[in-house]
Amino acid sequence: MLPIVLILFFIFLGFFFYKFLYKRSSIDDIRLLSAKNRQMQPHLRAILNRKVSFYRRLNAYQKQKFESDIMVFLEFTDIKGKNGMEVTDEDRMLIASGAVIPVFGFKSWRYLHLQEVILYPGNIPFGSDANGRSMEAVGLVGGGYLQGKMLLSKPALHHGFSDEEDKKNVIIHEFLHLLDKQDGTIDGVPKVLMEHPYIFPWMEMAREEMLKIDKGENQDIRKYGATNRSEFFAVVGEYFFEKPYEFKHNNPKLYKVLSKFFNQQPAG
Ligand SMILES: [Zn+2]
């Protein structure tokens, strides 16, 4: 008698679990579709035109895709201000642009390791170093308490889009770390972007380039890129998107490889 009751119980449980999952995925599909087809309000489009040079460089068809990708990102990502700080439309547009730019070459993309972005009024404190000095960052993603989250400095976010000479853009940098994390680890080898035979050559290339930066033989890429391979990937990636023509001219081999990874040719 008991086994039959147990079997019935598990069938019953399985049925409800299936219904729950099915319902959730169909709700997600509906949200995705409605966000994808939603028209962007003119004042939001004006922010993109004013602030995001990557968007300005696109043709009409690509601009439409960019807007639609932004709508989808905002539909599934919570953006909050630290301690109730106000989040403006401009903040939201710049954050979403940083998310979309690195993956714009793909038909559709969802960042698996991000549910919310928390905007800070300034630098973000995160513990202390070996000498007891407190440390601060302008952007943070990772594991542990950072799982599913991105912490971001509001002034640094805006600076990233207003100064195009410094090859730095914190929001693109942090999303490149998340892209790297899509395969499970932030290690500078974003396996979701590369076929298996490219993994080792990329690791070799990164090692050689980091050595050149460290020795001062390549001063074109900022020194922080030599910290480790994950920072190397994020640093060259943000430069690739922020100043594509200069990057291509000064680092043609790296440009070629990154173009393949991102499926984009920002310098034409
Ligand atoms: Zn970094």
Distance (angstroms) between ligand 1 centre and the Cα of 138 equals 10
Distance (angstroms) between ligand 1 centre and the Cα of 154 equals 16
Report which of 211, 253, 261 is spatially closest to residue 232, judged by C-alpha positions.
211
- SS3 of residue 213 by DSSP: helix
Residue 78 has pLDDT above 60, yes or no: yes
The span from the CA of 233 to the CA of 121, in Å, is 27
Distance (angstroms) between ligand 1 centre and the Cα of 236 equals 11
Distance (angstroms) between ligand 1 centre and the Cα of 224 equals 9
Distance (angstroms) between ligand 1 centre and the Cα of 12 equals 48
The span from the CA of 101 to the CA of 50, in Å, is 16
Specify the pLDDT at position 222.
Answer: 94
Other CB atoms within a 10 A radius of the CB of residue 197 amount to 7
The amino acid that residue 232 corresponds to is F
Average pLDDT over residues 245-262: 96
Distance (angstroms) between ligand 1 centre and the Cα of 174 equals 6
Distance (angstroms) between ligand 1 centre and the Cα of 250 equals 22
Distance (angstroms) between ligand 1 centre and the Cα of 42 equals 33
Distance (angstroms) between ligand 1 centre and the Cα of 84 equals 26
Q: pLDDT, tens digit, for every residue of 186-221?
A: 999 999 999 888 999 999 999 999 999 999 999 999
- SS3 of residue 256 by DSSP: helix
Domain boundaries, the chain: 187-268
Pairing state of beta strands 124-128 and 78-81? unpaired
Q: Label residue 9 exposed, middle or buried (CB < 10 Å: 0-12, 13-18, 19+).
A: exposed
Strand partners, 120: 153
Distance (angstroms) between ligand 1 centre and the Cα of 179 equals 12
State phi, psi for 78 to the nearest 5 degrees: -85, 130
Dihedral (CA of 181, 240, 236, 81) sign: negative
Q: Which residue has the higher pLDDT, 100 or 19?
A: 100
Distance (angstroms) between ligand 1 centre and the Cα of 181 equals 12
Distance (angstroms) between ligand 1 centre and the Cα of 258 equals 17
pTM of the model as a whole: 0.88
User: Are the beta carbons of 198 and 190 closer than 8 angstroms?
Assistant: no
Specify the pLDDT at position 151.
Answer: 97
Q: Which residues surround ligand 1, an ion (CB under 5 A)?
A: 231, 234
Other CB atoms within a 10 A radius of the CB of residue 103 amount to 24
Report which of 86, 95, 115, 79 is spatially closest to residue 47, judged by C-alpha positions.
95
Q: pLDDT, tens digit, for every residue of 151-182?
A: 999 999 999 999 777 888 999 999 999 999 99
- Report the range of poorest mean pLDDT among 96-100, 103-107, 165-169, 235-239: 165-169
Distance (angstroms) between ligand 1 centre and the Cα of 173 equals 6
